[in-house]
Chains A and B, each alone.
Chain A
């Protein structure tokens, strides 16, 4: 078992003929993900990697392939349109890897998807990985093994660090979800925590947060009220100066809100073990 993606995932790649899209399609196929097709307006009828069909629109692609999940590599300026297109074509899970979406675009996207009841992961995220079954996005497939730890994170390479550190001590992962570093995203910590809580294959959860916003504090509230499985956390950005965006659009301390120290305090109060650095995480899970 796993959350959000598994071996039944039938994936479309939006922007499949672009550099990033094509490269990562190759990686996903090599991992074993069932990539059933891709889209690239104007290139319908072509094939990539020998046997993956390219379509002009998501609607046609869904009709032809019965895809249920889509991963978006479309450049930021066209990305919101691509998400609306996927939503209107009946896709139930949209994973947006693209970084740099205008925040007002994301507000419109999120409110639209909420009305239709469609889940999105990202944007500005590495995607999802269910070791041994499927990967959707850009998380390296070789740094994690199947197991019972659920991982949810706002970061990319920091998440890889943690997956790798777990693998080195023989700990495996049920599913890893990169929810992305933008201020407004599709799926947040609480969404993932509740999915992990209900997933029989997940026994423990690692939650990697960072400065900016109050999602970690809200997650702490959720954990103390509902979470039945142990949670270990790490929060990046203790030393980040206020008012500066630390690479991720959402990683900013504004008006005294979003501080790492407040997040750590809230999580500890909820019974979460908070690591002082990522290499401490495996020992806290034991």
Chain B
């Protein structure tokens, strides 16, 4: 789950990371009032969950409260990469001397958190990592011990931070570590961390990604989820405990198991078709789940056929077939349906489904070919 900049920075501030004075507004008049209160120049920043806000014109400077109002009303009317801007953050403008990058993420290969810093801050860090990886200092953190003072000193030395800032940097690094740890983040990032004209360290921008699997212990953070950034059908699927991801094609897929669901998409493509979605109905697919999945797939007007690919292991194919039959009565889809049942009680399942007007297939290849052919006929 992604957090907005203002949410991330508010969390960082709770852990002692200095952030600019500022507030969030959802209308231009409020933005003007915030600017007035802050006095002086402000930055008006769109709050949307995509990168490249600055390039899109979603981050702008305003010298007066009037200008802040104008700029805010323009930004609030924008869409950035398809997402409507509903909020702006109005921050006091900083006098920037130097920009640094500081972030913590999970290093999958090392199985440890890694703190990364670079003197080349303010830009896309993935680009820096690709073009000049030597400019990024990485320090792995023992997940059982936490970050150590010497490690933050090593990082400060590595990015050639002037000695006078070490103490403040240490505090910020520890604050960021605690925010990462206590919020179960998978990424906590300050970019840029700036040295200001009056020689202070301030986190100008912040980003956090949270581990969805850990949200059960953070009900307060779970509430921060912004549903604007998500596809409606994916939100709907989550309610039924289904994993659904919309793709661009026209063959709907309903599969048990994530690996098999990906494979089903792949084999459709291999035989010249385009999958409309990824959908894992999980184990023990009862009628209610199958019906919900069918409805969700059919909300996509592009869908011209549905392929059911079910491997019966512990889940018996005849049970799944009954689920499909009940769901068919309820949803009454009007697209061709191809079904492949394999494994435990597959024959019984196929026999049950032969009453329904479904195209059956025995192998994965056959199922894919028949789906592609069914779509071609429409």
Q: Count B interface residues, CB 8 Å.
A: 49
CA distance A249 to B262 in the complex (A): 14
Is residue A107 within 8 Å, beta carbon to beta carbon, of the partner chain? yes
CA distance A214 to B110 in the complex (A): 11
A171 to chain B, nearest CB (A): 16
Is residue B256 within 8 Å, beta carbon to beta carbon, of the partner chain? yes
CB contacts under 8 Å to A, within B96-113, are 106, 108-109, 111-113
User: Are the C-beta atoms of A158 and B181 separated by less than 8 Å?
Assistant: no
User: Are the C-beta atoms of B263 and A236 separated by less than 8 Å?
Assistant: yes
CB contacts under 8 Å to A, within B192-221, are 211, 213-214, 216-217
Is residue A108 within 8 Å, beta carbon to beta carbon, of the partner chain? yes
User: Are the C-beta atoms of A142 and B342 separated by less than 8 Å?
Assistant: no
Whether A239 touches B280, Cβ cut-off 8 Å, given contacts A157-B313, A160-B311, A210-B259, is no
User: Are the C-beta atoms of A213 and B257 separated by less than 8 Å?
Assistant: no
Q: Which residues of the partner chain A approach B40 to less than 8 Å between Cβ atoms?
A: none
Whether A111 touches B266, Cβ cut-off 8 Å, given contacts A143-B313, A155-B258, A279-B364, is no
Interface of B, helix, strand, loop or mixed by DSSP? mixed
CA distance A23 to B213 in the complex (A): 25
User: Are the C-beta atoms of B314 and A112 separated by less than 8 Å?
Assistant: no
Whether A111 touches B143, Cβ cut-off 8 Å, given contacts A102-B184, A154-B259, A181-B259, is yes
User: Are the C-beta atoms of A246 and B258 separated by less than 8 Å?
Assistant: yes
Q: Which residues of the partner chain A approach B245 to less than 8 Å between Cβ atoms?
A: 241, 244, 246
User: Are the C-beta atoms of A153 and B259 separated by less than 8 Å?
Assistant: yes
Contact flags B75-110 to A (C-beta < 8 A → 1, else 0): 000000000000000000000000000000010110
User: Are the C-beta atoms of A277 and B211 separated by less than 8 Å?
Assistant: no
Whether A279 touches B363, Cβ cut-off 8 Å, given contacts A155-B259, A159-B259, A181-B258, is yes
Q: Which residues of the partner chain A approach B243 to less than 8 Å between Cβ atoms?
A: 247
Is residue A237 within 8 Å, beta carbon to beta carbon, of the partner chain? yes
Is residue A104 within 8 Å, beta carbon to beta carbon, of the partner chain? yes
From B108, B129, B261, give the contact of A184 (CB < 8 A). B108
User: Are the C-beta atoms of B260 and A161 separated by less than 8 Å?
Assistant: yes
Contact flags A211-249 to B (C-beta < 8 A → 1, else 0): 101100010000000000000001011111100101111
Q: Determine which residue in B143, B186, B270 has the highest number of CB atoms from chain A within 10 A of its CB, and name it.
A: B143
CA distance A198 to B251 in the complex (A): 44
A173 to chain B, nearest CB (A): 15
CA distance A23 to B315 in the complex (A): 12
Q: Determine which residue in B109, B144, B313 has the highest number of CB atoms from chain A within 10 A of its CB, and name it.
A: B313
CB contacts under 8 Å to A, within B246-298, are 247, 255-263, 265-270, 275, 278, 280
From A102, A155, A240, A256, give the contact of B257 (CB < 8 A). A155
Name the residue on A nearest B266 (C-beta).
Answer: A238
Q: Which residues of the partner chain B approach A210 to less than 8 Å between Cβ atoms?
A: 259, 262
CA distance A160 to B259 in the complex (A): 11
CB contacts under 8 Å to B, within A164-182, are 164, 181
A103 to chain B, nearest CB (A): 5
Whether A249 touches B311, Cβ cut-off 8 Å, given contacts A143-B343, A158-B257, A240-B278, is no
- In the A-B complex, the 3 residue pairs with the smallest Cβ-Cβ separation, listed nearest first, are A155-B259, A247-B258, A157-B257
Known A-B contacts: A155-B259, A247-B280. Give 11 more (CB < 8 A). A102-B211, A107-B113, A110-B111, A139-B313, A140-B344, A156-B257, A161-B311, A239-B265, A247-B262, A248-B258, A255-B129
- Which chain A residues have a beta carbon within 8 Å of chain B's beta carbons? 23-24, 27, 76-77, 100-108, 110-112, 138-140, 142-143, 153-161, 164, 181, 183-184, 208, 210-211, 213-214, 218, 234, 236-241, 244, 246-251, 255-256, 276-279
Q: List 28 A-B contacts (CB under 8 A).
A: A24-B314, A103-B211, A108-B144, A111-B143, A111-B144, A140-B314, A155-B260, A156-B259, A157-B255, A157-B256, A157-B311, A160-B311, A160-B313, A181-B258, A184-B108, A213-B109, A218-B109, A237-B266, A238-B269, A241-B245, A244-B278, A246-B245, A246-B261, A247-B259, A247-B278, A249-B213, A277-B266, A279-B365
